[in-house]
Amino acid sequence: MAEAAEQNSSTDTVKLILALLVLMAGLAGFYYFAEQAILYRVLGLVAFVVVAGGIALTSSKGRNLTSFMQASKTEMRKMVWPTRTETIQTTMIVLVMVLIVSIFLWLLDMFLGWIMKMIIG
């Protein structure tokens, strides 16, 4: 059992290193072909990123990430999002409170400034 886990771990390490090398090759190619049109360079870079991502997703960490993303998507569907009306009402409440607090702080600053002028002279 330990050999299988070690074999799996070493295979995953090789896959992740290969994905990193593919990504680095894409970046090197992007800068190597600097005289080419930016569209072709970006398309090539995107292709290398997709290939590197595909290689990385075949590792156990990649499969864990995929299952986590699927579980997150399921949880997002379960959430109850506020309606547009609730969102607007909450936003207005926040804006009014910010306005009230800012006016209070402005008045407090003016009052403390007036007191300091009276003390200093």
Q: What is the pLDDT of residues 25-52, one digit of tens each?
A: 999 999 999 999 999 999 999 999 999 9
pLDDT digits (tens, 9 = 90+) for 56-111: 999 999 999 999 999 999 999 998 889 999 999 999 999 999 999 999 999 999 99
CA–CA dist 28, 47 (Å, integer): 13
Domain that holds residue 109: 80-121
For 113, the token pair is 């400034």
Tally of domains within the chain? 2
For residues 13 and 45, membership in a common domain is answered with: yes
42 Cβ partners below 8 Å, 6+ apart?
30
| Contact partners, residue 91, CB within 8 Å, separation at least 6 | none
**18, 53: one domain:** yes
pTM (2 decimals)?
Answer: 0.58
Measure the CA–CA gap between 8 and 27, rounded to whole angstroms: 29
Same domain, residue pair 4 and 59: yes
